[in-house]
Structure 1
Amino acid sequence: MENYRLPISIKGVLLDALDRVCLLKNERNEWELPGGYLEPGESPEQALMREAEEELGIRVLISHLLDAGVYQVLPEKEIFIVAYRCFWDGEGKVTHGEEHIDIGWFSLEQAQNIHVPYPYLRAIRKSLGK
């Protein structure tokens, strides 16, 4: 019998001083939180810090765990998403890397009106205490 294995994706809720969240637009035309898959030997926090540097060009500081759960990204593909609240250390400039089409800062209301997967919206709400 084949073992059930679920990919683990670590995501960060990065808010600015106006409580707008940083989102990246992917190839599926969805806006997503920065982050990505764990690499061998990494802790979730190390993975998020690495992914933030790769995807946003900045270093982040991890605050606390916000949410975790299974999400179906495609009809035959589920992933386990772990979301943390994180902060920008203030150095450098926020940009998007090659794997994303666009980057933006959105209020919760704006994020609810664009294509943002439910688990990311849930983590954003938790980060804002809503």
Structure 2
Amino acid sequence: MSVKGVCVRAGQVLLLHNERDEWELPGGKLELGEDPTVCVTREIFEETGWAVTVGPILDSWQYHVRDGVDVLIVTYGCSVDADSPVQVSSEHKEARLFNHDEVAGLRMPSGYRRSIDDWYSRLGLSAPG
């Protein structure tokens, strides 16, 4: 199981570029006995240097990474607690902030797009297009 956070700051969403040449939400593997909100807070800080406040669950789905590797993904809406710069960890090639209308053209699992759209809607930010 992997928990991910949709982090929107100043109208832009934070995405990380991974080794599969996909953009993804920050987050990671839930450890045995770990609370999912604690996990997503920890993982986002480790991957980006950002402190966040975790909000509601947005979505969950099974993601087929490759043959023999399937992961249950749970996404949370997150509030960013400061405007510090992103510090990219060694786990990713790049981190960038994207406007909502840019997300549709990015290579990423569709579940991430759904979660981003949902969080923008809940925040009262305009939909792309």
1:42 aligns with 2:21: no
SS in 2 for 1:22: strand
Instruction: State how 1:107-118 maps to structure 2 within 5 Å.
Output: 107-118=99-110
Mapped to 2, the partners of 1:56 and 1:91 lie a distance apart of 12
1:75 aligns with 2:75: no
- Report what 1:3 is aligned to: none
- Report what 1:101 is aligned to: 93
SS in 1 for 2:9: coil
- Report what 1:122 is aligned to: 114
Mapped to 1, the partners of 2:108 and 2:21 lie a distance apart of 9
Residue 68 (structure 1) shift: 0.8
Residue 69 (structure 1) shift: 1.2
Q: 1:23 aligns with which of 4, 8, 15?
A: 15
Q: Is the 8 A contact 1:69 1:80 kept in 2?
A: yes
- For structure 1, the residue ranges without an aligned partner over 5 or more in a row are 1-7
- Report what 1:32 is aligned to: 24
Mapped to 1, the partners of 2:83 and 2:43 lie a distance apart of 16
Of 54-63 and 68-77, more deviation after overlay is shown by 68-77
- Report what 1:9 is aligned to: 2
Q: 1:57 aligns with which of 12, 29, 49?
A: 49
Length-normalised TM-score, structure 1: 0.88
Residue 91 (structure 1) shift: 6.2
- Report what 2:124 is aligned to: none
The RMSD of aligned alpha carbons is 1.3
Mapped to 1, the partners of 2:50 and 2:105 lie a distance apart of 27
Q: Is the 8 A contact 1:63 1:86 kept in 2?
A: yes
Mapped to 2, the partners of 1:93 and 1:16 lie a distance apart of 11
Runs of 4+ that moved beyond 6 A:
none
Identity over aligned pairs, percent = 38
- Report what 2:82 is aligned to: 90
Mapped to 2, the partners of 1:93 and 1:104 lie a distance apart of 10
Q: Is the 8 A contact 1:59 1:91 kept in 2?
A: no
Aligned length: 122
Deviations 1:7-63 (A, max 9, x none): x00000001122x21000000110000000011221110100110111001211011
Length-normalised TM-score, structure 2: 0.88
Of structures 1 and 2, the larger Rg is shown by: 1
